[in-house]
Amino acid sequence: MFKYWNFFGYSLSSLLSVNLELHNLLLPLGLSFYTLQTLSYIFDVYLGKIKPERHLGLFCLYVSFFPQLVAGPIERSRTLLPQLKSLELPTLYQFRYGLLLIVWGFFIKLVIADNLSASINSVYFGKEYFPFWVYWFIGALVTLKIYCDFMAYSEIARGVGMLFGVKLTLNFRRPLFATNLRSFWQRWHISLTRWIGDYIQIPLLRRYPTQPHRSVVTIMTLVIIGFWHSASWNFILFGLFHGMVMVIWSPIAKNISILFEGSFAFSSIFGRFFLAIVLMSSAPMFYIQDTSILFNILKNMLLFDLFEPTQISSIHGKVMLIKALFGFILLFLYSFFNEFKQQDFIVNLARSSSNRRWCEMLFIVFSTLFLGSFVHEPFIYFEF
């Protein structure tokens, strides 16, 4: 209510032409995250999955454990509380692993995510008009920026937690390698999607197991995920769009698979291509809260017109894009290794020889210092 009061008050005031009192209070940092974390504890105690924690200090530490307090991952009491009860000094491996996660997280944030901002903002919020393909390209950059920005914080949080001997939840599992939208959401912001699935979606599906109820529940689940981010219409539109696409995706993909005799290779290529279209087209819905600007951008993405070469010159941050490209190549190689080798590169590096470990870590550190953007830019999820 504290977070959404102004949204509903403003919407009802505009719809019914009445004056509702709005507040001007600042939202507490990390409100959306520790609210869900506390609710999961309450639900699990009520359902008998865990016993209530009698130690007030431990419970407060569980709610306010600082590495993941402001932007996740959203921890469950049955995984975090036992670790807090038996805290010990981290092992040498945990210290190395945590430090490497922190260094890698800052590299992703400063070299990739922050270097993309100038180009994105010059297209979305500038006065110039661009050809349609530029808006699609920027949509891809926005998707990459949001992913890198949020994953960077999650990796830093996991790293800091590891320095205390606490293993936090893996929040991203290479979502851009997914072959369909359902798989994407199983890999993206894992702690949130599992929370929504366990406490909202699965109970509703058990109660309404048949169509069209299942489709309605799917759409409602994605709308809730979108609305969780912020009290704004663009996030509702984002969730609604993803929910509707997910509902129509399955029968289309099934028919295509039958048409091409179940060819896994073709289904995978088609799935990744269609997923890229969905992510690029929905990226403005996540990034732009001003609905007038948002709808104008979406309209421009559908106008297949020609362009003058001079229009491209007004895009800012071209040198920063080159720096981000270097970071993206390293991220792709890292993700490719983890996805198809089924190994964790950071884990292997933490267990490797000290010479290799120091060389690769210093390479990442100096790459961050020379290529990173150090203009103050908070993590995107700090807003939520």
Nearest to 253 by CA among 234, 229, 269, 232: 269
Secondary structure class of 23 (helix, strand, coil):
coil
- In whole angstroms, give the CA distance from residue 245 to residue 240: 9
Phi first, then psi, for residue 86 (nearest 5°) are -120, 40
State which amino acid sits at residue 262.
Answer: G
Query: Which is catalytic among the residues 23, 55, 213, 229?
Result: 229
Please tell me what DSSP assigns to residue 126: S
Residue 106 to residues 153, 208, 359, Cα–Cα distance (Å): 8, 44, 17
- In whole angstroms, give the CA distance from residue 160 to residue 102: 7
Chain-centre distance for alpha carbon 373: 21
Q: Report whether the peptide linkage leading into residue 212 is cis, meaning its omega lies within 30 degrees of zero.
A: yes
**Residue 64 parent element (H or E):** helix 56-64
State which amino acid sits at residue 49.
Answer: K
- In whole angstroms, give the CA distance from residue 315 to residue 130: 9
- In whole angstroms, give the CA distance from residue 47 to residue 77: 13
Active-site annotation holds for 376:
no
Please tell me what DSSP assigns to residue 188: S
User: Which of 334-359 are b and which e, b meaning 16 or more Cβ less than 10 Å from the residue's Cβ?
Assistant: bbeebeeeeeebbeebbeeeeeebee
Nearest to 296 by CA among 126, 137, 119: 126
Tell me the catalytic residues: 229
